[in-house]
Every structure is written in structure tokens, then in C-alpha cells.
Amino acid sequence: EAGVAQSPRYKIIEKRQSVAFWCNPISGHATLYWYQQILGQGPKLLIQFQNNGVVDDSQLPKDRFSAERLKGVDSTLKIQPAKLEDSAVYLCASSWTSGGPVETQYFGPGTRLLVL
Amino acid sequence: GDSVTQMEGPVTLSEEAFLTINCTYTATGYPSLFWYVQYPGEGLQLLLKATKADDKGSNKGFEATYRKETTSFHLEKGSVQVSDSAVYFCALFYTGRRALTFGSGTRLQVQP
């Protein structure tokens, strides 16, 4: 079974530029998550999708971040314009159904973003 | 809101030493508890989990017991190996929020 795929693995941009990250979850997984992991901290949820609908985007900075999952499969996370404090690893994860209490989230390798 | 607190690292041990990484949590209700591990250059992997009080999760020689009375989920291993060197994250899953809340991670370095 293929794991969660993410691209690119690394990205360096200047502040005020835009950037996009892509995630392809495990086949059949209905729930997809984007997490932000700042150096030295644990991952923090940005947005959660179930199929192509948003379940939770309460911690997404909507003035600059956007995400979509149009066909309920792969997803794109965009930052426009980027700030220095957006430097982090962006993790995508997926799970089988709707995120029940015993469900396992499977994580991709992450995209490491550096904003200069 | 819910939160997870882990002991700060790095934790440096010699091979075959006993490992404990402390984790305590604050949550409304009864969360499920997890330990994830992140090996160098790799993504987060689930190590073990427990879904209710007094449950013990175990995998690869690691164990953790869900202690509701002390709101803790400490990770233990009787004899660590160099290959266990990684960052370990404690996390809770609270059905009211339906997403993982992570601690800040503890780096383990095992020396031969």
C-alpha cells in the first residue's frame, strides 16, 4: 500500500512570495489533514477535510492560507503572501473514515518551507 | 482547551539503558492517547496507542499505560538500541475536536 505522498520536499522562497504544496493521501482515505510543524514544536492542525468538505479550519490563517480538496482525493495548500514565521514543515496526513477515536492517521514525509 | 506536555530533551542514553519519556495531558472528556515517532529524514509514524483508561499500548518493545487518575501516558522501553534514536511525540485525539493535539516532542539519542 502506497503511503501519503507530498511534494515538493523542500522549498525556499522570499517573503511576500506565494507557494503551494500538494498532497495525495492513501487510496480510499476519506479524511485528510494539513499540519504545520515549526522547528522544536509539535505539529499543529491547520485544516481537516472529510472527502471534499472542510471539517475544521479554525486554526488556518485565512488571510494568507488557503486549501482545497476538490475531488475528495488529493489536496493543495497555498500560502500567499508568505511571511518569515511561515517557515516550517507542512505535514499532510490521512485516515480511513471520519476520524473516530481509534483511528490511525498516516503521515507523509512533509514539505520543509524556508521563507527568507 | 486540550494540551499535551512532554519532558524536554534531548534524552541521551547508552545502549541497553532503560527509557522513560514523560507525557501528561489536559483534556475535556476522555481522549485517546498516542505516541508517534519521527526517525531522521522520515515522516511521523504511529508507535502505539491506548483508547481508554488503564489500557496499555505496546509496540517494538515500547509500552505506555493510559493513567486517567494522573492524566499521564509515559513511554517506556526496557533496553534501548541505537536504532531507537528519534523524536518521540505524545498526542491526544479528542473526539470533540476530531484531530490530533501533539506535545512538543522529545529527542532521544542512544549512544553505542
Amino acid found at A36: Q
Among candidate residues B91, B15, B95, B110, the one with its CA nearest the CA of residue B47: B91
The predicted structure's pLDDT at residue A81: 96
**pLDDT level of residue B97 (50, 70, 90 thresholds):** low
Is B43 close to A110, i.e. CB distance below 8 A? yes
- Which chain B residues are Cβ-neighbours of A41 within 8 angstroms? 104-105
Question: Which range has the worst mean pLDDT, A23-27, A101-105, B56-60?
Answer: A101-105
**pLDDT level of residue B94 (50, 70, 90 thresholds):** confident
Rounded CA gap, A6 and A82, in Å? 19
Is A109 close to B43, i.e. CB distance below 8 A? yes
The DSSP-derived string for B19-75 is EEE-EEEE-SS--EEEEEEE-TTS-EEEEEEE-STT-EEEETTEEEE-BTTTTB--E
| The total number of residues written for chain A in this structure | 116
Nearest Cβ partner of A101 from B43, B93, B105? B93
Rounded CA gap, A114 and B88, in Å? 24
Q: Is the pLDDT of residue A104 over 90?
A: no
B23 touches chain A (CB under 8 A): no
B7 touches chain A (CB under 8 A): no
Task: Note the pLDDT tens digit of each residue in A44-70.
Answer: 999 999 888 998 899 999 999 999 998
A56 touches chain B (CB under 8 A): yes
Q: Identify from A45, A55, A94 which residue to disrupt to test chain B contact, counting B C-beta atoms within 10 A and taking the largest count.
A: A45
Task: Note the pLDDT tens digit of each residue in A73-82.
Answer: 999 999 999 9
Nearest-Cα distance to chain B for A31, in Å, is: 10
A30 touches chain B (CB under 8 A): no
- Which chain B residues are Cβ-neighbours of A55 within 8 angstroms? 98
